[in-house]
Amino acid sequence: MTHGQDYAVETLAVHAGIGKNEFRAAVPPIYQVSTFGFDSAQQGAALFAGERKGYIYSRMGNPTVEALERAVATLEGGHVALACGSGMAAIHTTLAALVKQGDHIVCSEAVYGPTATLVRSIMADFGIESSLVDTSDTEAVRRAMRPNTKVVYVETPCNPTLVITDLTAVAALAHEHGALLVVDNTFMSPILQRPFEFGADIVIHSLTKFLNGHADVVGGIIVLKDEQFYPQMRRALNHFGGVLSPIESFLVHRGIKTLALRMRRHCEVAQKIAAYLSVHPEVEWVRYPGLKNHPQYELSCRQSSGGGAVISFGLRGGLEAGRSMMNAVKLWMLAVSLGGVESLIQHPASMTHASMGAEIREQAHITDGLVRLSVGIEDPDDLIADLEQALEAAALGSRGQRKAVDTAVI
């Protein structure tokens, strides 16, 4: 099944990308092979020249990898996809294929830390300019556009602040200036959000996260709306070499079969936890797209079909209270990443977003007190009970600190 616009996304998650194979296997076989032979010298020459379809070398194409690529392209409603060795490989390949020395990128200011580092530092070394702005403010995006802007790169919801970008408005603005809109859809997955429907040109995922869902694969994928940019993307990926292996492709494809079920469960559990945190006396603020107090709740409802699995919040006791809480959790794993069936907790300013630097973090409102949750699929009452005892520990620690300060003053 390559195209499936007539099917619900839940059906596509099970069937997309499988197609027919020699033995009518229910899942695509693992072609764990580096090299494919030719029937003749003429066939080999024709394959290299692009005159015939077939396989040469797994860096350039592999049946198992292509099955995954077809699946994700179908789920996103795109034309074709390119699987990469990591999410960062997908981002780097995309930008490197689209921009050159003297070009300009507009990027969400609150993005995954290494993405900001890639755009601001590494690509700058090659003469590529960038502006990091609040892409949830369409006028800020407009002001950032330049005659040499080639790409507007957006995460929505942004990581880890969970601000939301109006994709329809920003897509129109990008196209008005002759630029492409690239959307990192990792947080929502195609189950909850399909950026092509709102004008995006390219969609990126970290396969490591929700699409795989089981914390046992590192990968990324680029999905193209149409065929226009495929040749240059494929050329870039082939020559950079950051491709995904067959075994990891197989594992992600297997994970996608339960993607719809997992995403609905993630949303259900996250909604309960966000509601719990929003009324807890030790919690100063909560940001979750599924809460009606989210500043862009209505936009979230128009653009996606659920709040997702990521919650950000801050404690009244600040950074030290957050550290105490993270050190006290038992069920939640203190770890970076997100999108797995297990629940994770982490501190972006000192972990995933440390490489951005304090100035850019402050600009993006990634405060030192911000704590990020990736909500898994466990029982919400168990997760809440663990947070409750950890928040109690944080509160005791904060009160102890205040008492020590008062005693010192006396």
Catalytic amino acids? 59, 112, 184, 209
Question: Which two structure tokens, joined as six digits, stand for 363?
Answer: 């600009």
Sign of CA dihedral 295, 299, 304, 305: positive
- The SS3 of residue 133 is strand
What is the signed CA dihedral for 225, 94, 64, 339, rounded to 10 degrees?
-90
Burial class of residue 335 (count of CB atoms within 10 Å of its CB; 0-12, 13-18, 19+): middle
**Are 277 and 286 a contacting pair, CB within 8 Å?**
yes
* Contact in structure between 287 and 248 (CB atoms under 8 Å): no
What does the DSSP assignment read for 192-249? H--GGGGT-SEEEEETTTTTT-SS----EEEEESSSTTHHHHHHHHHHH--BPPHHHH
Our measurement of the distance from residue 123's CA atom to the centroid of its chain's CA atoms, rounded to an integer in Å, reads: 20
Q: 319 is written with which tokens?
A: 């950074």
- 3-class DSSP state for residue 70? helix
Q: Cα separation of 406 and 64, whole Å?
A: 64
CB of 267 closer than 8 Å to CB of 157: no
Pick from 30, 103, 99: nearest CA to 66: 30
The contacts of residue 295 (CB under 8 Å, 6+ apart) are 163
49 burial (CB, 10 Å; 0-12 / 13-18 / 19+) is exposed
Parallel, antiparallel or unpaired: strands 283-287 and 220-224: unpaired
The answer to whether 328 touches 389, Cβ cutoff 8 Å, is yes
